[in-house]
């Protein structure tokens, strides 16, 4: 399905026969259909009321995602939000779409399995810094390499939220946590540099939760990407990491907007923050920005649109008919026939 | 000489093609209408040092006039390319008095004095152990046709054995052509020449002749090993996604599927680990496709968290486990039935699921078709427990006739009835229908957290009880739909009932037949379902004075008293039926033989003071 088309869906007026029940894309030569666009409202994407702490960054991500779905008119039944376990991973419950709240660290295998034979679904993945960079690190790297079409949001609050303030792989050194009361002993993992360095990674971007316009624009840009779009979202955790990003919020010099025609639209951000032109197809430049932690670079760091896509492999043959399958299994059995 | 059956082994250093020779002999014999059962003889390492005692690589082929259901007891004729590898065969009791060993005598004249001495010592030793050793110049004869006889003497030996057993050379030619066609025509031609050379040599130089006439049959058959049978079952079930991580002895299923599956428009996904493999499968399942994930015991250990999620979220999934020796890395290539308890109980919390165990190749095929249907109807994972013995042994089975009704139906994308919740548990059966992404108004969130009928996270005690009950009730529902197991022997009862599951069935039934012919009142039963059990077990067991589980896993002897650990099926059945079931179980790393089981039954009968006729 073409990416631009998948944003728009039509239903037939007639719903009598089961084959016509199925939604179809507008087909210019098929005049038996009388296409009528379904218009969705924000309410169509609302699920159970979120119970995150007030001013937790998760709220912003949820709202941006809901607005994105509405603006792109994604049919809720064709949209799946997959997550692992953590505060952030509760997000699918608050969406009105299909959702899969899986296991700690395991959202990506599930999302890849959903994508394997379903090119028609829009897939979003929500993961936390522990979920993605600790217990799910293996899956994270391999999912980047599989490069199957989906948007992956790393809600990085630099701490284990749900289990109450343990050190996460992205917790800055010396931060006092419940598992390291005298301060985290190691420097944090850099999720951007790690992602970019993974073979076949194709889209790596960074946002911050307090700039929702840019977050929204990044999600929008990710939707146009043919493979896996990985977005790291730096997030506040008012409960366990009080004020840990205040300096970046309060000082405009500590944010830098990456600009490029292929990148994320900066929107109104250019009025407040400094910009720097960045060619996202340059691996070396991408790595340079990824390593830069102050100021925080925002936007699309790395883009490789020609990276191979594993979903092209897994989706081969999805239209095989029962007759063709029967013929194929008969032929296999014949290879072992003896009498 | 006309005989009913013979056991033939090819053993050599790894890489000398003894397995190929054995497989060809098996296929040729099956094609001639004989019953066969083959077992791979596998060294622990991929390429053990040459001429090492534990390095035997090869194949055992049991050929009979009638159907053969197991690998049998001791070998009647053995082809050996060196004497050292024979030690391991003696050690496992694979040789009887008078086993004919066709041994290459080139070692008697090599330059290395140590080897000459080893050879002489071994031959003397084997003769002492009553082997009937006959020297055959495998290498020197092969060298007449090919430069490196290490790659070729296997086919020369196959020709030799074909002459001894009056095998149809045309059929052997077909197998060889198939085997080497991928390489080059030149290699095919050389091997055909070697086949004939071995055959001719035997005709001129030995008068060993056995004939095993096949009983005529007009049932169309295929010859497959258990893993291929599982793979064909996966295809015939209309499963579209096989998600796996390589592990012996399960991997060959996916090797074959990787080749054949795309022809059905299906895909094999090799994941980065077993956790991801089952996660991917569960994702595909959520999206409407019933997938299969394939592994062995260590892989099952990694999959358990996800398995519980599939049970909690009620997502259909077929899990094939080809058991090997454990615990831990254990005996990767060897047979054991050590994963029953972990399949039943190793997941976090109470995780009711369906567990089935095929006992032969025909069941390997058909159980997968049943498993997929059960998984979907009962909205739950189904574990199919096979083992290394079934995996690599070849057997002829009636050719299945696939139907489109075996296939998974196309995914439902019709509108979901909004008034039906995603977990609309039927109070009687626990069953419910699931919405699939794409179904309008079916939108719900799968979660491993406790949830109510709407899939909403719920912590209320009453909801938790209700949901647990619904998931558990599905097993009771299935049990009501199953037939009681069939007794092999006397359904009316008797002195002893042997209870088994999985691959030992053939050997158990052969032992039972032998003893019944001697007037001993023994029968056997093989359980196909291990969760839920088939119905009426207690009633069936009550017809027998004594009950004995026979399986390939560890148990303590009865003398351990209260400290005794019972075998795995025995443990579960004792709890399930409250019957005083005894067990005889072992972990030899090789299939239990009919003779072992006969002896165990006789000993049991003695201990229980049952009169023998
Ligand atoms: C197998 C397993 N191990 C541990 C846990 C406990 N656990 C739940 S969430 C979590 C960490 C969450 O941190 P993060 O991924 O950063 O998400 P956040 O809550 O910060 O959004 C842990 C350790 C679990 N649920 N499952
Ligand atoms: Mg976190």
Report the mean per-residue pLDDT for chain A.
Answer: 91
With the most atoms of ligand 1 within 8 angstroms of its CB, the residue from A107, A152, A155, A160 to mutate is A160
Closest residue on chain B to A93 (Cα): B445
Phi and psi angles of residue B320, each rounded to the nearest 5 degrees, phi first:
-95, 125
Nearest to B390 by CA among B329, B339, B335: B335
Nearest Cα to B285, choosing from B352, B349, B375, B354? B375
User: Which pair of structure tokens corresponds to residue B184?
Assistant: 């080059």
Tens of pLDDT, residues A256-270: 999 999 999 999 999
At residue A99 the predicted structure's pLDDT band, cuts being 50, 70 and 90, is very high
Which tokens is B74 given? 């001791």
Return d(Cα A197, Cα A194) in angstroms, integer.
Answer: 5
pLDDT of residue A25: 45
Structure tokens at A260: 């490029």
Give per-residue pLDDT as tens, B28-51: 999 999 999 999 898 767 778 899
Q: What is the pLDDT of residue B54?
A: 82
pLDDT for position A2: 31
Of the listed ligands, the closest to the CA of A140 is 1
Cβ-contact B95, B128 below 8 angstroms = no
User: A26-43 burial, b for 16+ CB within 10 Å, e for fewer?
Assistant: eeeeeeebeeeeeebeee
CATH topology of domain B222-406: Rossmann fold (3.40.50)
d(CA B451, CA B488) in angstroms, rounded, equals 45
Best interface-test mutation with A: which of B276, B309, B349, B369 has the largest number of A CBs within 10 A?
Answer: B276
**Is residue B183 classed exposed, middle or buried when 0-12, 13-18 and 19+ CB atoms within 10 A define those classes?**
exposed
Tokens representing A178? 């419940």
CB contact under 8 A, A324 and B445: no
**Which pLDDT band, with edges at 50, 70 and 90, does B55 fall under?**
confident
* pLDDT-based confidence at residue A35 (cuts at 50, 70, 90): low
Find the farthest-apart pair of alpha carbons in chain B and give their distance in angstroms, rounded: 87
Residue A261 has φ and ψ, to the nearest 5°, of -60, -30
Residues 393-412 of B with CB under 8 A from A: 396, 399-400, 402-404, 407
Ligand 1 centre from A104 Cα, in Å? 6
pLDDT band at A26 (very low <50, low <70, confident <90, very high): very low
Question: What are B246-259's pLDDT values in tens digits?
Answer: 999 999 999 999 99
Closest CA to B358 of B530, B487, B234: B530
Region B487-608: CATH code: 3.40.50.920
Which pLDDT does position B613 carry in this prediction? 79
In the predicted structure, residue B508 carries a pLDDT above the cut 70: yes
User: Which residues of chain A are within 8 Å of residue B31 when distances are taken between CB atoms?
Assistant: 338-339
Phi/psi at A191 (nearest 5 deg)?
Answer: -65, -30
pLDDT of residue A14: 32
DSSP A243-274: TTTHHHHH-GGGEEEEE-TTS---GGGGGTSE
Distance CA A82, CA A91 (A): 9
> What letter does residue B449 receive in the DSSP assignment?
S
Total number of residues shown for chain B: 613
Confidence of residue A32 (pLDDT cuts 50, 70, 90): low
* A4, pLDDT greater than 70: no
Q: Which residue of B has its CA nearest to A337?
A: B222
**Which chain B residues have a beta carbon less than 8 Å from that of A113?**
241, 243, 269, 279-287, 291
Q: Which of B260, B272, B280 sits opposite A116 (nearest CB)?
A: B280
Round the average pLDDT of chain B to a whole number and report it: 96
Query: What is the dihedral sign for C-alpha B551, B555, B561, B563?
Result: negative
| CA separation for the pair B556, B327 (Å, rounded) | 16
Query: Sorting pLDDT into bands at 50, 70 and 90, what band is A5?
Result: very low
Decide if B5-205 and B222-406 have a common fold.
Answer: no
Please tell me the distance from the alpha carbon of residue A216 to that of residue B66, in angstroms, as a whole number.
Answer: 72
Peptide bond into A172 cis (omega under 30): no
Report the topology of domain B5-205.
Pyruvate-ferredoxin Oxidoreductase; domain 3 (3.40.920)
Give the whole-angstrom CA distance, residue B344 versus residue B307: 11
pLDDT tier for residue A338 given thresholds of 50, 70 and 90: confident
DSSP B533: B
pLDDT at A23: 43
Does B572 have pLDDT greater than 50?
Answer: yes
Nearest to B172 by CA among B9, B24, B8: B24
- Round to whole Å and give the CA distance between A256 and B539: 78
DSSP annotation of A307: S
Ligand with smallest separation from the Cα of A52: 1
B396 confidence band (pLDDT: 50, 70, 90): very high
Residue A95 has phi, psi (to 5 degrees) of -105, 155
Q: Is the pLDDT reported for residue B285 higher than 60? A: yes
For A21, other C-beta atoms within 10 Å of its C-beta total 17
A157 lines ligand 1 (CB under 6 A): yes
pLDDT tier at A28, thresholds 50, 70, 90: very low
Q: What is the pLDDT of residue B610?
A: 86
Chain A residues in contact with B445 (beta carbon < 8 A): 47, 92-93, 95, 98-101
Check residue B217 and give its pLDDT. Answer: 87
Please answer yes or no on whether B262 and A106 come within 8 Å at the CB atom: no
Look at A336 and B228 and tell me if their CB atoms are within 8 Å.
Answer: yes
* Domain parsing of chain A, residue ranges: 4-34, 45-314
B216 falls in which pLDDT band (50, 70, 90)?
confident
Percent of chain A with pLDDT over 90: 88
Q: Is the pLDDT of residue A10 over 50?
A: no
Residue B119's pLDDT is 97
Judged against a pLDDT cut of 70, whether residue A15 lies above it is answered with: no
Q: Whose CA is nearest to atom 26 of ligand 1?
A: A104
* pLDDT, tens only, B91-127: 989 999 999 999 999 999 999 999 999 999 999 999 9
Residue of B462, B464, B469, B461 whose CA lies nearest to B450: B464
B185 CB-near residues (< 8 Å, 6+ apart)? none
Whole-number pLDDT of residue B44: 66
Q: Write down the residue that tokens 């009983």 correspond to.
A: B215
Percent of chain B with pLDDT over 70: 100
Residue A111 is nearest to which of B218, B219, B283, comparing CB atoms? B283
Q: Which residues of B touch A339 (CB under 8 A)?
A: 31, 33, 217-221
Name the residue in chain A with its Cα closest to that of B223: A336
Does A191 sit in the ligand 1 pocket, CB within 6 Å?
Answer: no
DSSP conformation letters of B395-412:
EEEEPP---GGGSPPPPP
Res B398: pLDDT: 97
The rounded Å distance from CA A127 to ligand 2 centre is 9
pLDDT at position B511, please? Answer: 98
Query: How many H helices and E strands in chain A?
Result: 11, 11
Q: Is the peptide bond before B532 cis (omega within 30 degrees of 0)?
A: yes
State the smallest CA–CA distance between residue A185 and chain B in angstroms: 30
The whole-model pTM stands at 0.94
- pLDDT at position B362 is 98
Cis amide leading into B18 (omega within 30): no
A235 lines ligand 1 (CB under 6 A): no
Specify the long-range contacts of residues A26-33, CB closer than 8 Å, at least 24 apart: none
Per cent of chain B over pLDDT 90 is 94
> What is the spatial distance between Cα A34 and Cα A145, in angstroms, rounded to a whole number?
42
What is the model's pLDDT at position B612?
81
A149, A150, B328, B570 from A308: Cα distances, Å = 11, 14, 37, 52
**What b-and-e string marks burial along B77-96, b requiring 16 or more CB atoms within 10 Å of the CB?**
bbbbbbbbbbbbbbeeebbe
Residue B414 has pLDDT above 70, yes or no: yes
Residues near A292 by beta carbon (within 8 Å), at least 6 away in sequence: A256
Q: Give the distance (Å) from ligand 2 centre to CA of residue A165.
A: 9
Quote the pLDDT of residue A29.
Answer: 54
Domain boundaries, chain B: 5-205, 222-406, 412-481, 487-608
Q: Determine the pLDDT at residue A34.
A: 55
Q: CA quadruple B112, B113, B116, B118: dihedral positive or negative?
A: negative
pLDDT-derived band at A18, boundaries 50, 70, 90: very low
Does B204 have pLDDT greater than 60?
yes
Tell me if B416 sits within 8 A of B441, measured CB to CB: yes
What is the pLDDT confidence band of residue B391, given thresholds at 50, 70 and 90?
very high
Q: Which ligand 1 atom is the nearest neighbour of the CA of A85?
A: 9
> Per-residue pLDDT for B388 more than 70?
yes
Nearest residue to B102 (alpha-carbon basis) of B196, B1, B191, B18: B18
ω into A295 cis (within 30 of 0): yes
Which of B283, B302, B316, B440 would you mutate first to test chain A, the one with the most A CBs within 10 A? B283
Give the pLDDT confidence of A148-167 residue by residue, as tens digits.
999 999 999 999 999 999 99
Selected from 2.70.70.10, 3.40.50.2300, 3.40.190.10, 3.40.50.970, the CATH number assigned to the domain covering A45-314 reads 3.40.50.970
> Is the link from the previous residue into B249 a cis peptide, with omega within 30 of 0?
yes
Could you report the per-residue pLDDT of B427-475, keeping only the tens digit for each? Answer: 999 999 999 999 999 999 999 999 999 999 999 999 999 999 999 999 9
Query: What is the rounded CA–CA span in Å between residue B328 and residue B319?
Result: 20
Q: What angle do CA A202, A203, A207 make, to 5 degrees?
A: 160
**CA quadruple B158, B101, B137, B393: dihedral positive or negative?**
positive
pLDDT of residue B497: 98
């Amino acid at each position: 399905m073409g990416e631009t088309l998948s944003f728009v869906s039509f239903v037939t007026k007639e719903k009598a026969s089961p084959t016509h029940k199925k939604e179809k894309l507008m087909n210019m030569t098929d005049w038996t259909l009388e296409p009528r666009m379904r218009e969705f409202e924000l309410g169509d994407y609302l699920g159970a009321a979120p119970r995150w702490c007030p001013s937790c960054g998760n709220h912003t991500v949820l709202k941006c995602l809901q607005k994105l779905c509405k603006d792109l008119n994604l049919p809720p039944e064709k949209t799946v939000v997959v997550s692992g376990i953590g505060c952030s991973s509760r997000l699918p419950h608050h969406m009105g779409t299909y959702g899969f709240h899986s296991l700690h660290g395991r959202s990506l295998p599930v999302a890849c399995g959903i994508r394997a034979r379903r090119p028609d679904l829009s897939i979003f993945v929500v993961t936390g810094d522990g979920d993605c960079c600790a217990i799910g690190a293996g899956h994270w790297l391999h999912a980047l390499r599989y490069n199957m079409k989906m948007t992956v949001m790393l809600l990085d609050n630099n701490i284990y939220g749900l289990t109450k303030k343990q050190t996460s792989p992205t917790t800055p050194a010396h931060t006092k946590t419940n598992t390291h009361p005298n301060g985290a002993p190691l420097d944090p993992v850099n999720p951007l540099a790690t992602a970019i360095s993974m073979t076949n990674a194709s889209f790596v971007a960074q946002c911050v939760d307090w700039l929702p316009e840019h977050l929204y624009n990044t999600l929008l840009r990710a939707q146009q990407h043919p493979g896996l779009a990985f977005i790291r979202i730096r997030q506040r955790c008012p409960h366990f990491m009080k004020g840990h990003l205040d300096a970046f919020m309060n000082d405009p010099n500590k944010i830098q907007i990456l600009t490029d025609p292929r990148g994320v639209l900066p929107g109104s951000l250019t009025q407040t923050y400094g910009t720097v032109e960045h060619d996202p197809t340059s691996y070396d430049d991408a790595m340079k920005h990824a390593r830069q932690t102050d100021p925080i670079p925002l936007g699309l760091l790395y883009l490789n649109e020609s990276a191979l896509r594993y979903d092209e492999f897994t989706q081969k043959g999805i239209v095989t008919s029962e007759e063709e399958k029967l013929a194929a299994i008969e032929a296999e059995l014949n290879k072992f026939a003896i009498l | 000489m006309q005989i009913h059956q013979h056991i033939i082994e090819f053993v050599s250093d790894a890489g000398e093609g003894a397995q190929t020779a054995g497989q060809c002999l098996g296929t040729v014999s099956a094609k001639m209408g004989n019953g066969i059962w083959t077992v791979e003889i596998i060294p622990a390492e991929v390429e053990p040092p040459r001429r090492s005692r534990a390095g035997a690589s090869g194949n055992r082929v049991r050929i009979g006039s009638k159907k053969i259901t197991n690998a049998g007891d001791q070998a009647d004729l053995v082809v050996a390319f060196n004497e050292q590898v024979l030690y391991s065969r003696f050690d496992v009791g694979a040789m009887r008095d008078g086993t004919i060993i066709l041994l290459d005598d080139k070692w008697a004249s090599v330059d290395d004095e140590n080897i000459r001495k080893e050879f002489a010592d071994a031959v003397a030793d084997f003769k002492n152990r009553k082997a009937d050793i006959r020297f055959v110049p495998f290498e020197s004869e092969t060298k007449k046709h090919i430069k490196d006889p290490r790659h070729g003497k296997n086919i020369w030996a196959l020709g030799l054995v074909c002459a001894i057993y009056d095998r149809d050379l045309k059929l052997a030619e077909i197998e060889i052509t198939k085997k080497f066609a991928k390489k080059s025509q030149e290699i095919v031609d050389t091997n055909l020449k070697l086949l004939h050379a071995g055959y001719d040599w035997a005709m001129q130089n030995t008068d060993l002749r056995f004939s095993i006439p096949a009983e005529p049959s007009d049932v169309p058959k295929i010859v497959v090993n258990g893993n291929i049978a599982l793979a064909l079952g996966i295809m015939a079930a209309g499963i579209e996604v096989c998600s796996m991580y390589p592990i012996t002895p399960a991997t060959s299923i996916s090797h074959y599927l990787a080749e054949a599956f795309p022809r059905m428009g299906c895909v094999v996904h090799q994941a980065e680990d077993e956790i991801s493999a089952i996660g991917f499968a569960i994702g595909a399942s959520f999206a409407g496709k019933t997938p299969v994930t394939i592994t062995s015991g260590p892989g099952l250990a990694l999959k358990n968290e996800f398995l519980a999620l599939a049970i909690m979220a009620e997502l259909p999934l077929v899990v094939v486990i080809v058991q090997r020796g454990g615990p831990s890395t254990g005996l990767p290539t060897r047979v054991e039935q050590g994963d029953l308890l972990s399949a039943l109980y190793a997941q976090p919390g109470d995780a009711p699921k369906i567990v089935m165990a095929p006992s032969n190749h025909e069941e390997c095929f058909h159980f997968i078709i049943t498993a997929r249907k059960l998984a979907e109807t009962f909205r739950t994972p189904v574990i199919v427990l096979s083992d290394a013995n079934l995996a690599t042994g070849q057997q002829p089975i009636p050719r299945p006739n696939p139907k489109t009704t075996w296939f998974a139906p196309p995914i439902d994308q019709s509108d979901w009835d909004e008034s039906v919740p995603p977990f609309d548990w039927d109070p009687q059966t626990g069953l419910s229908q699931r919405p699939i992404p794409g179904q309008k108004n079916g939108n719900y969130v799968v979660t491993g957290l406790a949830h109510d009928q709407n899939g909403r996270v719920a912590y209320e005690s009453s909801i938790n009880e209700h949901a647990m009950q619904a998931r558990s009730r599905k097993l009771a529902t299935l049990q009501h739909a199953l037939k009681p197991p069939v007794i092999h022997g006397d359904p009316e009862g008797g002195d002893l009932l042997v209870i088994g599951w999985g691959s030992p069935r053939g050997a158990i039934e052969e032992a039972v037949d032998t003893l019944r012919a001697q007037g001993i009142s023994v029968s056997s039963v093989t359980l196909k379902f291990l969760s839920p059990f088939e119905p009426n077990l207690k009633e069936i067991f009550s017809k027998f004075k004594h009950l004995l589980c026979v399986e390939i896993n560890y148990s303590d002897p009865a003398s351990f008293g209260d400290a005794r650990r019972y075998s795995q099926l025995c443990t579960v059945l004792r709890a399930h039926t409250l019957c005083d079931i005894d067990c005889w179980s072992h972990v030899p790393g090789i299939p239990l033989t009919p003779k072992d089981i006969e002896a165990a039954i006789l000993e049991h009968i003695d201990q229980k003071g049952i009169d023998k006729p």
